[in-house]
Structure 1
Amino acid sequence: MRAAVLFFGGPRREKVAELARGLAEGLERGGHQVDLIDGDHDIGRKLTVYEYIALGTAATTLFGGKLDPKIEQYLSQAGTLLGKKSFAFVLRTTMGSHKGLANLMKVMEKQGLFLRFSEIIRSREEAVQVARRLKLDR
């Protein structure tokens, strides 16, 4: 299956990128074709060709779980997303992770993505394990 791991780094760019690389690695080990997309730099890249989309970020505020507004803007211009299977993930922080994940899921569903799974992840190793548990083919 062709999958995209799309991430928006924001203030914790390196940590979120590391999680995204771990997810991509785990999905590739599962025999899937995976493209890693940096949403902050690969502006305008269409997601229509992908059957599965993993989207991750970090909350931009400590308590509120706010997300970068670029995420919704990117998705609205990313082609046909209606009904595509997806996975939402956020970087685990001391506070705001749960709210950030809930907000990310709302944005994804608003754009028509079909959420199959969501997770708060703290390390690359954990991301690889999460990717192994994802059931992309179903």
Structure 2
Amino acid sequence: MRVAVVYFSQEVQGKLAAIAKAYGEGLSGQGHDVVVINGLKDEANLFIYDYLVLGAEPVSVFSGRIDNSVQHCLKNLGQIDGKVAYAFLLRKGLWAFRSLQLWMRWLESCGLMLMLSDIVVRPSEARLFGRRLNIYH
């Protein structure tokens, strides 16, 4: 299955990038064809992928909101209506569960069908989640 792990971060080598790469490694271990994409920096068309793994992080420790540029960039990455997806959020601050709810609600309003979601702290967790993620639908 073709899987796109898309993360939205200004930092190319930051913690969110490492977590996205770990998800990709876990999914590749299942035999999937995986591409890791920085949604804010890379050009891509998500229409060609069968499954999307989407990750973001809250703007600050005290805010549960996701940066508005993330929403704009996702809309410019191709037709995603009806795609099956998994959402993850980098744990940052006190409002992680609220942030995840906002992130999931926004993704669903874009037409995605979210099957699962997680809050992730370390790349090792992401790799494990990627290995155990059943993306066959």
Shifted more, 23-32 versus 96-105: the winner is: 96-105
1-structure distance, mates of 2:40, 2:73: 9
Shift of 1:134: 1.1
Count the aligned residue pairs: 137
1:20 alignment partner AA: A
The 8 Å contact of residues 40 and 73 in structure 2, kept in 1 or not, is answered as no
1:27-51 deviations in whole A, cap 9, x for unaligned?
00010000000112114x2100011
Shift of 1:13: 6.2
1-structure distance, mates of 2:90, 2:12: 9
CA RMSD in angstroms, aligned pairs only? 1.6
Residue of structure 2 equivalent to 1:102: 101
> Is there any run of 5+ residues in structure 1 with no aligned partner, and where?
none
**Identical-pair percentage:** 34
Residue of structure 2 equivalent to 1:27: 27
1:56-83 deviations in whole A, cap 9, x for unaligned?
1110022331111122112222222111
The 8 Å contact of residues 61 and 96 in structure 1, kept in 2 or not, is answered as no
> Is there any run of 5+ residues in structure 2 with no aligned partner, and where?
none
Change (3 A) 1:61 1:12: farther
Does residue 1:54 correspond to 2:62, yes or no?
A: no
